[in-house]
Every structure is written in C-alpha cells, then in structure tokens.
Chain A
C-alpha cells in the first residue's frame, strides 16, 4: 500500500525539504517504519528508545487522529494520507 505522508515544517530538513513523501505499509506503524528507512534521521525524532511514537507526536490518518482509531496498528490503504503534527500547538 502506498500512502502519502505530510511532513511538518520542523522535520522537513530531514526529508530533503519535501512537504510530502510516499511510504509503504499496511498499517500506520508500517508506513512510519517505511518512512524512517527512507529518511533514517527521522527515526529518533519520531520514536523513543522503545520504538514507540514520542509523547508530543500526533498522527492523523485522513484527518482523523489515530488515537481515536487503533493507534499505530490502524490499517491504511492505497492513497491514504498520513499527517504528522507536533502536539504542542494551540490553546
């Protein structure tokens, strides 16, 4: 499955300034692993030492927060869009 991942400004320096990149996988977790294999510098930025998404990283699948779905195990399909959003805006 090929999904589009929308990269937030603070991370674009690790994705050759690309605002969106393509990733492969059947779940959000797999797509993130695919993203990290293309851009290894993203790995420690997105995940902690145990490989879990960091506390201040929010992921949206087609505009829906994955915490309202199955979290990183949420299934993705061809053409889906993932957005990675810093959790620390607003209020």
Chain B
C-alpha cells in the first residue's frame, strides 16, 4: 500500500453518526444506514487552496484532498474537468437568459460522469489489494469499470440487465472483461451484486466500495463552481437514478463554501427522472420521505431506470433542503430534450440528458427557475451510446447520384421545407 497521506479519518454513518475505520465497509452495523467518508476539513484547509487547485492539471484530481484515497492516484489520472458550456441558443429555447451545460458527454475515457466515481473506487480498490472488481450497472458504470479496470490490469465482472442498448453492451465487451447479463431489472442486478460482493470478496464499486466511489461525483460540483469563476449558480438540474450524484453536487458546493473558495449563495438543486421510473420525484411531489419502489420501469431512459434508489431519501432531502424540486418528463419530452440540446449546443446527450433538459423546461415553465436566474444542466452521458432512443425520429436520409444537377434538385426540395428564416 502507498504511504497513507489522505485527508480523511475513516467512515461514518449518515443516519446515526457512528464512526468506522476506513475499510471495506458500507453499512452501519447498528442502524443499517449508509456509510460515508469522514474528512478532516482542517487538514484539507491547510493543504488545499485555490492557488494549489489552479496550479494542477485540468482533471478531477486537482481536488485530490477532497477525495478518499490515501496514496497516489493509480486509476483514472485523466478523468474530469469537462467543459462548462454557456449557451444563449439553449437559453432561448428554454426561456432563461443564462444557461450552462456541464458536459460530461466528453468525460474521459468512457464518455459519462461515471468515470469520476470509478477512478476513485478503483484507485481505492488497489489500495485495499483487490484483484477482482465489478459493479451493478445500467450501462455507463459498466463501461467505465470495464475500461478503467482493463487499463489498470484488474480482473472485472460488470453485471447489467440483459436488455440494455447495444452501444452500452459493446462499450463494455470491447475492453475484454467479463460482462454478465441478468434477466431482470437493474434492481435484480443490484441485489445479485450485493450477494456477489459478500460471497466472493470482490471490490464491487457501488456495493462494498460505495462510500469511496460516491465521493467521485463531487468533482462535477467542484468543477462547476471553479468554472463559474469561483461562484455558485442559482440553479442546478441533475438527473437521478440511484440519487447519489445530486447529493454529491450539494456536498461539493458546501465544501467549497466551508473552505472559503466561493461565497455563500442561495443555490437550488433540482432533480429529473423519467415518468416511467420516477420513485424519487414522486417522493418530492407526494411529500413522502420513504421510497415506494417501481417494480417494472417503463421508459426509454434505461440509464435512470432504478426502481429502488438507494439514495432516494437523501436525494429528496437535497431537493427540499435547497428549495429545489423534482420533475419527471415523459419519453416524448425526453426526446425533445435530446434534440433541443443537440440543435442548440452541438452536444449529443444520452437519454438521461434529455430528461435533464426536459425537466429544466418544466421547472422554467412553472416559474421555479426564473428567466433572469442562472442554471447549470448536468449532462452526464453521451448520446452515441443510446442511439436507439432517437433513431425512429428521422426519415431515411436523401440519397442522390454524384452529380451537381441531382444536388440542385435536392436543394430545392430542402429549401421548400425550411422555415423562412433560420436564427
């Protein structure tokens, strides 16, 4: 094991506060609450300044002291620091003046925010000495575990529902690791992985390594604040599957306030889920503090189709506590969101991104986000992985002979269909 040099003391229960050593633990043995990393913020404040951050390379490890590894970064050294894109055209389409896209569709190496959590989890897995790692996944996480494990020389088993999009299955197989399809929902997969972790003593990133894994998501929030010139936005809209990311964005903002990197600001964090699987949004809308699981999710948004979200109660608390809200757009609205984002920003997001854009539209239309307030949309995955969601939207492309006359004829046809002015 590398020299111990982390800024955390151990783990503690998010429910009852009981403390645990920084080992492979994820459940409180008193109350069954989830464990999270217990940082030493005085130590962090002594080591990490804005200047230190600015002097480091543009990746998520520029905030290393706020991440739970003890030694050097051994997996995923290049992950993160994705663009924060301001788009007036998207703002116009949504009805707000200032909108930014946090573009994790180009995260490295597997084009989703999951590379953030996996680089932390696998760096930590190596510190613990695991030789086999794995995950329960709706696709993006599997891709990231597969790629990062392959690069690190770790044996890997990624477990997914068998009916995932082809792009997500190939996107794991290509790395030469073991891909296991399960006949059932993500929640069936998740349950199996809990049993696998216990039985085989493997490092399952979102089961027994989850307290470490989940911290990686904070870097999306850290980057947003840094890229806004050390300010917090008025609003953030974030997709929710298990509900972890939205909580970690709030945590990241609060850490930067605590460290004095940003001024205190009244920010509001909103969550989006697909109508066909929205157990957390329903908790917000029905003012209920417990998760009513969804047995059979019915949506094109497979990456968010977690019927029994582990962080549901905490995600609800983040939304309610920050004065945010939850929205659950239909699949039709989601496709509108994907197309609108692409047509106004040049960013092709997967279905979860469509949910985020469509949820933002609902929040703006309802006046929960006002036209003169700033909003950041967390776009977490790449549309090239879920092409099935939009392929039915388009007619077959025009095919012509390689002759200018043929093109002339086609152009007349196209111009006849175009609106009079293009903004």
Contacts and interface: CB of A to CB of B under 8 A. Distances in A.
A10 B29 contact: yes
Most buried by A among B197, B198, B292: B198
Interface in B18-34: 25-27, 29-34
B306 interface: yes
B278 interface: no
Nearest to B211: A88
Contacts of B199: 19
Contacts of A88: 26-27, 32-34, 210, 310-311
A57 B31 CA distance: 9
B311 A45 contact: no
Interface string A45-58: 11000000011111
Contacts of A63: 188, 191
Nearest to B213: A91
Interface residues of A, number: 28
B313 interface: yes
A90 B27 contact: no
A9 interface: yes
A45 B310 CA distance: 18
B352 interface: no
A10 B198 CA distance: 9
Given A68-B293, A91-B311, A8 B29 contact: no
A45 B15 CA distance: 13
A56 B306 contact: no
B308 interface: yes
B191 A86 contact: no
Contacts of B309: 91
12 contacts: A8-B27, A8-B198, A9-B197, A13-B29, A56-B15, A57-B32, A67-B293, A85-B191, A88-B311, A89-B310, A91-B244, A91-B306
The 10 closest A-B pairs by CB, nearest first: A91-B242, A9-B198, A90-B190, A88-B34, A56-B32, A89-B207, A10-B27, A86-B27, A88-B310, A89-B194
